[in-house]
């Protein structure tokens, strides 16, 4: 498959070109809430809190696009939740998906973090006592990290490495994100925020994981799916085999003979785009300002050659500014939103000179970010960087 087609299909599936509704229908409505975006994506990497909120908002119908305050309110209200799942990093998930995703992925991410937890002194009985204190505190309401540290003091437990105990409490389905307390985020009791549901068979959960991942990340290789989900290659292959008689199927080969898998409904919607719509979607001058951990980036395995711009051969790696500036789905630079004292600075670091069409598109995207932030914003543009 040609890289331009691969980028086009992935941008479309991601909801960065659209609209694409929950059912994959290109003619249907775009998502109108952050919960719809997260539900469709299944899980959205979210360790950079404000930029990850922008990553949700930019996939919503512009007519209904929320501002940062509205996205934060959706997290506060529990419409979307933030926790460590799939891999040892923060993700947004919906309440309906939080329980089964953690049941599936917690054993693996606990093993991945076991050495760090042990070195911090929070394995065994110490960790169990810490989780008990957290559970007891959250039974009384939402608590900030400072509140929980004070509870550890009262219980005679150290607060060094508290983050590791909180991580364990999350993967053991004791704690999950709560409502903000001023500018501080809180933890809440898992069962308060997540509805009860019966356990799923592991094979069933893996099949759903892969099917729903392909809805927004296809076409993707087995390595892509394993990297994103934290699963083994064997588990992904088994899940694809179980799912292939429904909507999932092979679509093409990459240059290195890796098979690409796709969601049939989304793929058909991409193929059925009217010519004028396809021309707009595939405009190589169309700029995107993505969070650095956007699913368009993190949903696929390194080296992510589809992101490579002409003349740049090294893998795309984080730098400052952290976040990804694209044109036509390829990297052309970095950017970052910095908010301080009720004012924003949008920092832009291009890797090359932009064309007039790219400049116009970038100007529009920066205006969209400023509108999302809801505060006065200045653009600070650095000189073209050598890469």
pLDDT tens digits for 157-206?
999 999 999 999 999 999 999 999 998 999 999 999 999 999 999 999 99
DSSP state of 361: H
Residue 360 has pLDDT above 80, yes or no: yes
CA 284 to each of CA 198, 355, 386: distance values in angstroms, whole numbers, following the listed order: 47, 11, 22
pLDDT tens, 142-164?
999 999 999 999 999 999 999 99
Q: What pTM did the predictor assign? A: 0.93
Whether residue 24 is predicted with pLDDT greater than 70 in this model: the reply is no
- Look at residue 176 and give its three-state secondary structure: strand
Q: What DSSP character marks residue 359?
A: H
Domains of the chain plus CATH, in order, are 1-21+200-273 (1.10.10.10), 284-381 (no CATH)
* CA–CA distance, 260 with 5 (Å, rounded to integer): 12
DSSP tag of 147: H
pLDDT, residue 253, reads 72
């Amino acid at each position: 498959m040609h890289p331009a087609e691969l980028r086009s299909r992935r941008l479309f599936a991601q909801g960065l070109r659209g609209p694409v509704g929950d059912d994959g229908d290109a003619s249907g409505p775009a998502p109108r809430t952050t919960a719809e975006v997260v539900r469709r994506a299944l899980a959205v990497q979210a360790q950079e809190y404000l930029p990850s909120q922008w990553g949700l908002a930019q996939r919503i119908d512009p007519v209904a696009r929320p501002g940062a305050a509205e996205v934060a309110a959706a997290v506060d209200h529990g419409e979307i939740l933030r926790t460590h799942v799939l891999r040892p990093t923060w993700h947004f998930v919906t309440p309906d998906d939080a329980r089964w995703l953690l049941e599936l992925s917690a054993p693996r991410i606990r093993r991945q973090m076991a050495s760090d937890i042990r070195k911090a002194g929070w394995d065994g009985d110490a960790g169990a006592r810490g989780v008990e204190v957290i559970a007891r505190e959250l039974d009384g309401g939402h608590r900030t990290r400072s509140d929980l540290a004070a509870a550890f003091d009262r219980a005679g437990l150290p607060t060094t490495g508290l983050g590791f105990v909180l991580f364990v409490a999350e993967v053991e389905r004791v704690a999950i994100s709560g409502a903000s307390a001023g500018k501080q985020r809180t933890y809440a009791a898992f069962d308060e925020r997540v509805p009860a549901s019966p356990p799923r068979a592991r094979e069933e959960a893996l099949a759903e994981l892969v099917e729903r991942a392909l809805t927004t990340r296809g076409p993707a290789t087995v390595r892509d799916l394993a990297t994103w989900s934290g699963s083994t290659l064997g588990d992904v292959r088994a899940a694809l085999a179980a799912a292939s008689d429904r909507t999932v199927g092979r679509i093409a080969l990459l240059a290195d003979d890796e098979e690409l898998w796709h969601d049939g409904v989304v793929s058909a919607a991409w193929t059925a785009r009217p010519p004028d719509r396809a021309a707009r979607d595939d405009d190589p001058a169309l700029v995107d300002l993505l969070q650095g951990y956007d699913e368009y980036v993190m949903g696929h395995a390194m080296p992510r050659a589809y992101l490579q711009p002409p003349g740049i051969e090294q893998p795309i790696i984080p730098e400052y500014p952290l976040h990804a500036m694209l044109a036509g789905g390829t990297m052309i630079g970095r950017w970052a939103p910095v908010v301080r004292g009720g004012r924003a600075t949008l920092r832009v670091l291009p890797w090359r000179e932009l064309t007039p069409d790219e400049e116009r598109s970038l100007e529009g995207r920066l205006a969209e970010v400023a509108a999302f932030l809801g505060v006065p914003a200045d653009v600070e543009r650095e000189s073209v960087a050598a890469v």
